Amino acid sequence: MSEATPVENLTPDEAAAELARLAALIAEADAAYYQEDAPVLTDAEYDAARQRNLAIEARFPELKREDSPSDRVGAVAQDGFAKATHAAPMLSLDNAFSDEDVTEFAGRIRRFLGLDESEPLELTAEPKIDGLSLSLTYEKGKLKRAATRGNGLVGEDVTANALTLNDIPTKLAGKDWPDFIEIRGEVYMSHADFAALNAREDQAGRKTFANPRNAAAGSLRQLDTEITKSRPLNFFAYAWAAESAPFAETQSEAVAKFAEWGFQTNPLMATAATVDDLIATYRNIEQQRATLGYDIDGVVYKVNRLDWQQRLGFVSRAPRWAIAHKFPAEKATTTLEEIDIQVGRTGSLTPVARLAPVTVGGVVVSNATLHNEDEIERLGVKPGDTVEIQRAGDVIPQVLRVVQDGGGKVWHMPDTCPVCGSAAVREIDDKGEADVRRRCTG
């Protein structure tokens, strides 16, 4: 059996072993994502692991594990922050990966509600922001608490840090808000702020962040509020829970209220009357993805009528009335022509892949990061090789793997600085471990 064995070909023994492997893999990925802000799987790999786990459970329901990842929505609260129990669980969304999945989603809703073809089913479509979910509790219009999602039931109390964000009102504007409400949304960092932050971190000799989402999570979940304050974080409001009184009849009306109350809401949110309209909105948002200035990883659809949302309710860990239509991972294959060295302002040497230009997700890419010499060794990449590259969440594309050996010579990191000719070394830390980066000694 291998990871590639189709689910329909698995024997029960193989399926049990595969469920155990996926449970461990997803738990490790969750821990890395939520607690260390350093992902071990790409988003596409993570989604694929969760999908495979679900597919195996669907075929072998009796083999579903006690610790099944499909019953968990995230990792446990990190030590250091007070625990915060959500007034209503923060669940995740089911995913759609194709237009057919979206058609099926709309069909399931129609059947559940007993709507015939002539009855319109209006849905909202909005970009799925690739950030960190946050729940804000307002009592009598005043911000009482901000909490991360955590495991969906209990998160971390990050109120002091949330107060440093300009996009989070401490007091709601207007006066038609319910006395009690949890406003939910996504904390994110723009591409420009992410690039500037990483430049500062690099200059200070600190570890840089892998992508804007990790930078946002690492910045919000700081025990030192001053650090959060120094980081440019944004927030889009898009959902709510536990309201003490109804305040809208539709999803779009509710989000329009959020804007009146002082929140930023996503300008690309739209409504669609048919599945075709929905898919057209998806394509439109996908086309704008590269120029938005922040990361999104799909489009979320929701039934617009709130009374229908109520009737549809929830199944397992997700609402029946919403789905996330994910973008395909943006990958492409091209020739790696040369490996150049960039020397940072602190003297750190970074290898950069010069590529034969190729279009990835609508953007022409001619450079990709190789991170450091350990990464080059791991990939076994040399000039002349055909490589697969990915632009997914990251601002700088990265080399994923060698597709075809170009027969070139093995590449080694230079031991002198290409700028000044001084020796370039990997410093050894107190624990006897070599720095991942080589630095100019000049």
Listed residue (267, 250, 243, 365) closest to 307, CA to CA: 250
Which of the residues 64, 83, 128, 229 is marked catalytic? 128
Q: Are 148 and 131 in contact (CB under 8 A)?
A: no
Q: Does 419 bind Zn ion (CB under 5 A)?
A: yes
Q: How far apart are CA 173 and CA 170, in angstroms?
A: 10
Q: Toward Zn ion, which CB reaches closer, 48 or 419?
A: 419
Q: Which residue, chain included where needed, has tokens 């790999």?
A: 45
Non-local CB neighbours of 195 within 8 Å, separated by 6+ positions: 395
Rounded to a whole number of angstroms, the minimum distance from the CB of residue 202 to Zn ion is 15
**417 touching Zn ion, by CB under 5 A:** yes
Q: Single out the segment in contact with Zn ion by CB under 5 A; choices: 139-147, 153-161, 273-281, 419-427.
A: 419-427
Q: Which is nearer to Zn ion, 221 or 426 (CB)?
A: 426
| Minimum CB–partner distance for residue 417 and Zn ion (Å) | 3
Regarding 414 and contact with Zn ion (CB under 5 A), the answer is no
128 is catalytic: yes
Given the rule CB under 5 A, which of 75-83, 214-222, 324-332, 409-417 is the region that contacts Zn ion? 409-417
> 360: which strand partners?
363
Nearest of 46, 62, 55 to residue 13 by alpha carbon: 62
Question: How many CA within 13 A on the CB side of residue 44?
Answer: 12
> Site size for Zn ion, by CB under 5 A?
6
Q: State the nearest-atom distance from the C-beta of 410 to Zn ion, in Å.
A: 24
Q: Is 442 in the site for Zn ion (CB under 5 A)?
A: yes
Whether the CB-CB separation of 46 and 26 falls below 8 Å is answered with: yes
- Strands laid side by side in the 234-241 sheet: 142-148, 132-139, 180-188, 234-241
Residue 41 and residue 24 in contact, taking contact as beta carbons nearer than 8 Å: no
Is there binding between residue 423 and Zn ion (CB under 5 A)? no
By CB under 5 A, residue 413 contacts Zn ion: no
322 SS3 class: strand
- Residue 419 CB, shortest distance to Zn ion, in Å, is 4
Please identify which residue in 242, 420, 428, 434 interacts with Zn ion, judged by CB under 5 A.
420
Considering the complex, state which of residue 222 and residue 372 has its C-beta at the smaller distance from Zn ion.
372
Q: Active-site residue numbers?
A: 128
Which residues of the shown chain bind Zn ion in the complex (CB under 5 A)? Answer: 417, 419-420, 422, 440, 442
